Structure 1
Amino acid sequence: MPFPSSISIHKMQQQPLSFSIFFFFFLLGFASADYLQNSDFESLPKNVTGNSSVAFVLLNENNTMPGWTFQGTVQYVTAGRGVTLPDNGHAIELGQDAKVNQSFKANGDYANYILTFSLAPCGQNCSANAKVIVSGPDNQGIFSFKQHYGKQAWQSYGQYLGLSGHEESVSLVFESQSVESEDNSTCWPLIDSLLVKAVDKLVQGKDNILLNGGFESGPEFLSNSTEGILLDSALSPVESPLRQLAVVGTIRYIDSKHFSVPHGNAAVEIVSGVSAGIHTEVSLAQGSAYNLDFTLGDANNACEGDFIVEVQAGSVVQNFTITSNGTGSAKKSSIKFEAVSSATPISFSSFTSSQTKDGIFCGPVVDDVVLLSSNSPKIAIKPSILICLLLLIVILWY
């Protein structure tokens, strides 16, 4: 949704305060609109009652799912009897040749659409084998339940869907991928708690050349998720759910509500060990000097040990060691470098593999990455001069 023009803002300032507050909350509500129908599968299929004691109900032409079309073997699942779901409610299981689809309309100007969803295995022997193919207009990914990446029996993932706008139809498709379990039975994935978020094109600010250096632009956090969002490899910054930043290996997108985040509302925890991390390329003036400031720490999730993070800024590569006791430490660091080419790489990679005492994979947190030119002279204005300038502005105004 485009920001109001300067003329619109001027008119707003002339309106009563109550109108401005209403308009602000209108914008907020519009930005957080739920694009999907029945995204948590709590609207029951036809011929299924709310007090049904049947854990798995096969969907067919007589038992259709509100908001969704489907083909193949799809079952409506109720939590319990060995099935754990994010809200202890309902989900769907994608069985043999199963595919579910929902299309929604993109709003306003072109925006990038990012999906958050939960994936769970169906059965104890299927914990490492539940796989699902997720497709959007411009991207496709294969996701599997990862053992030792959380304490819950389900996990949240983020996926970039594509760029759409002006009432274009955005199609979201989930498709099953069969695998064998430890007891030679076939395992199928459960999906639940879907959330689609629209992200406008990021604009470079004067205070940071690096787009999304604070990692605030990414998948939406689910209200009932306490373990963050897993982001698998996305080697193109354009197709990454962490906007403008490519992902290598697996990282955890964490929020300040449940983790220690050094700055803002979100940060990145590198969890899949050696060589995992994030990277991007920035167009800089060749031969000019720059500063890369950043914060490294831990997520306050009992992840203890020495984290080694390799930071690359242009042709400068430097290792930083963070000693963590798992309680939310954070330390600011910086690198000075000269841009040797117009396409300058910026990356953060882990050199260590870490686990908590519970066996959960964890690692260093990266946040608040700021890239600025060090060539621009800084002009210091004395307070007395500033006061005189302000008085002069007031006199001329009246």
Structure 2
Amino acid sequence: MRILITGGAGFIGSALIRELIEHSEHSVLNLDKLTYAGNLESLVSVACDARYEFVQADIVDQATISAVLDSFRPEAVMHLAAESHVDRSIDGPSDFIQTNIVGTYSLLEATRAYWQSLPEPEKTAFRFHHISTDEVYGDLHGANDLFTETTSYAPSSPYSASKAASDHLVRAWHRTYGLPVLLTNCSNNYGPFHFPEKLIPLVILNALAGKPLPVYGNGMQVRDWLFVEDHARALIKVVTQGKIGETYNIGGHNEQKNIDVVRGICQLLEELAPQKPAGSAKYADLITYVQDRPGHDLRYAIDAGKIERELGWVPQETFESGLRKTVKWYLDNLEWCRRVQDGSYQGERLGFLNRKELLA
């Protein structure tokens, strides 16, 4: 297949592209605006592959998206481009409204026009896969409750509200216009190449620098953790085998309290990086409780039974194995981390071809 991926320079998008190029015969066009969270250094391993192309563009720009679609002629669109950090959405929700809602609308309209122009066999085979989050469901209160594909939406933050709106738009374009769509809602991702403002990489890098390890509130918030490479494999299953019009929840079967995640990282660092910064006795001594986030959801947990039953996907990593791989990756790639932290990754394109000729 020829697959257009929006947001392919982001954390999940880059993992998806690496999986597609390294472990399949599919061809990929990566369309990314390259905001602060888009990092082409995450794609160095596939950048020179003949089946990979890159275009820098904003999904809000409908004319450019249409030109890319007409030139690349994808058989599937996988939509990952989004503003995704809850704290940033609280401080400045405007970008989230623009990208996640207006951008999704623009992409849907460009895709609808492209899809309607296809010959019938290609039109029938085409699919639009929208990648979303379990945060659209709000939080769970019962100890044994799980999010299912029919759980009512109750978003708590500007981020999750904008993603909920984008989900509704995708479903509306399917019902009203017949656009062949698939939706997935995933739990918290973690793994290599994660932007350092997120919990797990932030804790790893702060600990190595002898800085405080911030934990919101009492740290008892529960999340279901999904190793990003498992997520990428699930997304490929859905886009190639999923049933049009269906939603699939993707979870890691790994519920953990935030404080236990932080303590687990500290334990691994004691083993893997025993030489601590001056003044640190134990990494866990750096744990610092800070004021809780406004509207902080207490518990997320995914029922991923549908994707297992219908598509045969199950995560390969336990939280323990995935966290060990993640900590080791960061220890082995501190230069990548340094370039992200000081912003120098944004100043270079590493010889990537920005395929402007596609728009000619």
TM-score per shorter chain, which class? under 0.3
For CA contacts below 8 A with separation 6 or more, give which structure has more relative contact order. Answer: 2
More helix by share: 2
TM-score with structure 1 length normalisation? Answer: 0.24
TM-score with structure 2 length normalisation? Answer: 0.26
More strand by share: 1
